[in-house]
Structure 1
């Protein structure tokens, strides 16, 4: 039986969600704003498209993914609030640094640092939220945090144009120590200063007590690997299945503005208004609805509720991708709202699903592995896949709509099949977690042995009737 009194109060828990949500929004604005500054950055720094693409995608994605794994180890053994605090501070300094760079390699280094800093946030946030809410409320809480993706992207679209207009109106400025600063550089300085100020709000987060199997035990890396191997079918179907969905999401999202400009003759400002609004509203509603549905199914006894919701969302997303083949704008905007809504449903439950099958002391590390896989496959390859189809298969810039549909259909279809194949292994993985626990009734010397020897199957330590009820 679950002791609900062991969790923070509802008010305290939801305050934590809101603060972490703001941090997530800030991270996506810092991440996406460069996409709106391509023209002035290229002009002032004399860069090629390939150099710009490295700044926007690959350099950020690779180091975001690689830094996440060692940081995940820190999540499981050190203060999670402290890690987030220093992570936000670091990436904000790197963002501000983008505003004072003079040459390309400096810019590239600052974007690498931004990615590494942002890698601290989600693994620590997932772990904090998992310890702040009981299982039947966990998917909803993590899904609310997941709204940060859609709010952040929407704000980058909606506010980006306004910020650029404001900065351009000020023109070049001269700052002490840094000299002449261009308008686009001023934007990075403003965002960096905002992030540094936001760090103070993070102090309002209270570190929750770690709960569940393995709480408070430093597990050797070899035992983390051994545990993952023991539930490898569930982990592989989860990570690869959601990676396919993220692949489709990043690929479609990167080229949707271009689709509206090329195929529907819209201006970038119009695209920002419509697409930004839909991202914020439909995306936020979709990710929270997915979490709510997963929690509802969990209360009705479905042990694979998070995976089921993801499967449902993936199938509907694949069907709704037909929106890119429609010319009637009224139908397009209605169906686009539905498309973004259902595509967002798996976003929150993906992270929640990881928390449900891993011991507490492994959650940060396995969340980091999950983010490593989906970031490299999704952000690293998704946008390029659409471009390759357009350039080398269709050989026509106006065929971007067909490239989007092919990528969306194949990727979401593959993701749905992988998640479907993982339903049974996922339920078995939850049972495996219930059958594993660190020894809680040994003396301190034995506890130190546990920390170096890893997990012991509880049936080998004490009779079943002596186990505390859950």
Structure 2
């Protein structure tokens, strides 16, 4: 699609929409400011994942107090988020493409943090589901805005590292979620219930949600103080004003459907493996190795952080140097790393030695971290600036519908129906984890082959 042939959006004018300053040749922000923006987004992403993944460590006490099955808990872990994306993800992406992104990020943080606090007050499944759906606003707002902001702050040959560091927030956030939960569990190990001002008597697992949600108020305020980066116009769209019509975005995706669908689905299948595994990782350690819940939280969190550091930061920096940091070279690198990760995916759930299991899991998660960290930078390299947040929202929608919406539940359903014994969850993980990686690797290789036919 040639953007020069697209009509202006209805109601557009020569004045950019509020919050927009489109400049094609403007210098990038100073390195100090650029990295401060990445640091703030990194911290926000950490807390997004803390609030999202905390439930993974608290499965057993939640099931006991609310009388839930593994499948019901899996719906709280994933489907509640996926449902929100279905309703609001794409409209939010359109909003991000035209509005001040920093303010929208602040609003998103405030909403998801408040909903996390509400998770600490629920008394039944339906209340919990509604609150968890509200927490989903974090992913729906934060990542499309972050991808757009970071791509306007760094040149192409440094974009992989910047995106990798931002993406590392997911691994550290998930790891810290398990660690924070472990600390809370250890602190209240002998208390069935705790008295909290205003709320009264609540269960110990509910305290963890209250602690996780409260810092979001302060993080949101930071984004109200940060400057809005200049939106850099992709060559060929300099004359356009206002927002690109949705019909133009759809036409662009249609003309590049093989490329983008392969990228979206590849990361979605990798996410299916990862989220279908880590959502149940502490539970697997408790049920299969006889570990205490706090110890399982510490080990799970440590493995996630180690794998994320190696894959997202190391992989991002390496991809900036291989093949000149082109989108094609990044896709090939991700594909081969996913192939390597298949071996870890197949091994870690079945190993009986904790050390060997930990090594295999780090290999498994490192491979995922490479692909999940690189995919956004590839999309930003390919997509015209004025479509980036909308297409990023579509990307986030697809990967979370597949990964978050299906991963935890697919693992739980396989475990409940085919391995209905205490350690059965490990065998369910051993099926889901390699399956998603095999599909993801194939799709990444297809995307790399089709990238030369990409049309602007």
TM range (shorter): 0.7 to 0.9
CA distance in 2, matches of 1:159, 1:355: 34
Deviation for aligned residue 1:183? 3.6
Gaps of 5+ in 1: 434-470
1:91 to 112, 115, 121: 112
1:307 to 314, 331, 350: 331
What residue number does 2:20 align with? Answer: none
Count residues with an aligned counterpart: 428
> Which sits farther off after the overlay, 166-175 or 377-386?
166-175
1:367 to 378, 384, 392: 392
CA distance in 1, matches of 2:106, 2:69: 35
What residue number does 2:453 align with? Answer: 428
What residue number does 1:234 align with? Answer: 259
What residue number does 1:257 align with? Answer: 282
Give the alignment's Cα RMSD to 1 decimal. 2.6
Task: Specify the structure having the higher radius of gyration (Cα).
Answer: 1
The reply on whether 1:20 has 2:45 as its aligned counterpart is no
What residue number does 2:197 align with? Answer: 175
Q: 1:130 to 1:34 in 2, by over 3 A?
A: same
The reply on whether 1:152 has 2:176 as its aligned counterpart is no
Greater fraction of residues in helix: 1
2:344 to 314, 317, 320: 320
Assess if the C-alpha contact under 8 Å between 1:167 and 1:184 holds in 2: no
CA distance in 2, matches of 1:123, 1:264: 39
Assess if the C-alpha contact under 8 Å between 1:92 and 1:193 holds in 2: yes
The reply on whether 1:271 has 2:296 as its aligned counterpart is yes
Q: 1:45 to 1:265 in 2, by over 3 A?
A: closer
1:386 to 402, 411, 419: 411
Work out which structure has the larger RCO, using CA pairs closer than 8 Å and 6 or more positions apart in sequence: 2
Q: 1:410 to 1:129 in 2, by over 3 A?
A: same
What residue number does 1:281 align with? Answer: 306
1:199-254: per-residue Cα shift (whole Å, max 9, x none)? 12223422111113247641111111011111111111111111111111112223
Deviation for aligned residue 1:102? 4.9
CA distance in 2, matches of 1:374, 1:48: 25
Q: 1:6 to 1:330 in 2, by over 3 A?
A: same
Q: 1:297 to 1:90 in 2, by over 3 A?
A: same
Assess if the C-alpha contact under 8 Å between 2:81 and 2:404 holds in 1: no
Q: What secondary structure, in the 3-state scheme, does the structure 2 residue paired with 1:173 have?
A: strand
The reply on whether 1:162 has 2:183 as its aligned counterpart is yes
Assess if the C-alpha contact under 8 Å between 2:70 and 2:412 holds in 1: no
Q: What secondary structure, in the 3-state scheme, does the structure 1 residue paired with 2:231 have?
A: coil
CA distance in 2, matches of 1:390, 1:190: 31
Assess if the C-alpha contact under 8 Å between 2:270 and 2:436 holds in 1: yes
What residue number does 1:340 align with? Answer: 365
Assess if the C-alpha contact under 8 Å between 2:71 and 2:409 holds in 1: no
Q: 1:330 to 1:98 in 2, by over 3 A?
A: closer
1:356 to 375, 381, 388: 381
Gaps of 5+ in 2: 1-22
What residue number does 1:199 align with? Answer: 220
Q: 1:381 to 1:142 in 2, by over 3 A?
A: same
The reply on whether 1:135 has 2:159 as its aligned counterpart is no
What is the TM-score normalised by the length of structure 1? Answer: 0.84
1:35-56: per-residue Cα shift (whole Å, max 9, x none)? 3333444454455555433322
What is the TM-score normalised by the length of structure 2? Answer: 0.86
Q: What secondary structure, in the 3-state scheme, does the structure 1 residue paired with 2:154 have?
A: coil
Q: 1:315 to 1:21 in 2, by over 3 A?
A: same
CA distance in 2, matches of 1:204, 1:140: 25
Q: What secondary structure, in the 3-state scheme, does the structure 2 residue paired with 1:379 have?
A: helix
What residue number does 2:94 align with? Answer: 73
Deviation for aligned residue 1:365? 0.8
Assess if the C-alpha contact under 8 Å between 1:247 and 1:411 holds in 2: yes
CA distance in 2, matches of 1:203, 1:169: 41
What residue number does 1:444 align with? Answer: none
